[in-house]
Chains A and B, each alone.
Chain A
């Protein structure tokens, strides 16, 4: 999956799971604020990532994620 495919795939399932408009999911936007995640929501995020991308991110993975760009980079690395 290349970066463009990662962006379109993750936009689809993140907007559906967290009920936000796809148009708000922009590379430079903050992931936590855009998806309105509290600490409990991270387990839902892990579930949809595992279901849709086939890998399970760790708590450490999220420490380095600020923007969606960071998230796409993580996905690229984990799927490589």
Chain B
């Protein structure tokens, strides 16, 4: 475990109730992994089903935490502001229910200047929920 739930907001700009990531469990120059438990207080639950927009946010916040963590190791501070520049190649296979544990994997495909092209995928019980590419701009 690299960052636990209690400390995750040191590395992402979002605050409750918009935090969609609990723990950062892996991070290096190639990618990141996070976990997130869907609870009954989640704003994006409707009829006990989490929306796809929450999953897209989960992927983006995993990137923010991952880049923040990696940069903190380089002495470049924590919680750099990151923005979603674009979302593409989005496919939604299924949506998680209240209580689901989500595991999210990010692969950094390419970096140009301060723009990162990433491939993100979120799983629950090893079943793929969603995948997409994002351009993340680090301010």
Contact = CB atoms under 8 A, between A and B. Distances in A.
B113 A42 contact: yes
B86 interface: yes
A43 B85 CA distance: 11
B90 interface: no
B115 interface: yes
Interface string B97-130: 0000000000001111101110000000000000
Nearest to A45: B112
Contacts of A44: 117
Interface size class of B (residues with CB under 8 A): 10 to 19
Interface of A: 39-40, 42-44, 46-47, 50, 56, 59
Interface of B: 85-86, 109-113, 115-117, 135, 137
26 contacts: A39-B115, A40-B85, A40-B86, A40-B115, A40-B135, A40-B137, A42-B112, A42-B113, A42-B115, A43-B110, A43-B111, A43-B112, A43-B115, A43-B116, A43-B117, A43-B135, A44-B117, A46-B110, A46-B112, A47-B109, A47-B110, A47-B117, A50-B110, A56-B110, A59-B112, A59-B113
Given A40-B115, A43-B111, A44-B117, 11 more contacts: A39-B115, A40-B137, A42-B115, A43-B110, A43-B115, A43-B117, A46-B112, A47-B117, A50-B110, A56-B110, A59-B113
